Structure 1
Amino acid sequence: MSFGTINILQNNLAEVIVDEGVVMDEISVDEYHDFLLNNLEAPMGLLINKKNSYSYTFEAQKSIVHLDAIKSMAVVTQTSGAVMSTKTLINVNGNIYRNIKLFQERENALSWLYKELSTQ
């Protein structure tokens, strides 16, 4: 991917790692959504691993979570800056995406996603 790595963990679950310093724009979001729709089964879960620092254009912020095939998103944040940027992203979208949860540990995030995806 031009913006980072998407690791498929199972047929409806992927881990997304955006590269350090990337600015996600509408083109990156389209590439991201196309990959998810072409490589995962819906309903899908995403583990967003925010181990790197990156940003979004305003247009990308508004469209990044607008994909009906996504059932649940777990965001792994290890810094206060990552927590703040994730909460801002949720607020920009008017909290329309309700099934998103923040975690400090990747293992806890995965456990939550497996549970979410098993209750369809």
Structure 2
Amino acid sequence: MAKSELADLHGKVVLITGGNTGIGYSTIQILARRGAKVYMATRDATKAKPAIKKMEAEGLGEGYVHFLDLDLADPRQVSQAAKQFAESEERLDILINNAALGLGPFHLTDDGITNVMVIK
């Protein structure tokens, strides 16, 4: 697909879970370079913030990437992240569920939630 065929995302707000490496990282770059305001929602700021700085150094065009602290294994923290997002934005245009645990063994958290969607 040619660059000219990609949608213009200026003014769009995107939230992507995960994204400090791999497919998520590249997806965030593409969305931001098309003008989107992208939230990298991940639980590890020590990985997310350097990844965002690297993206900025590589160039994001007119887009932006922001860190949103989100730990999918903790329902209370998920609620807090949702509240923080809602206080910052009037809407969400695109949601990409990218975060996942690639290999088992899987287990339940103290809240009875499987850790399949949690990167540790």
Whether TM-score is above 0.5 comes out as no
Give the greater-gyration-radius structure (CA). Answer: 2
Task: Output the TM-score relative to the length of structure 1.
Answer: 0.42
Task: Output the TM-score relative to the length of structure 2.
Answer: 0.42
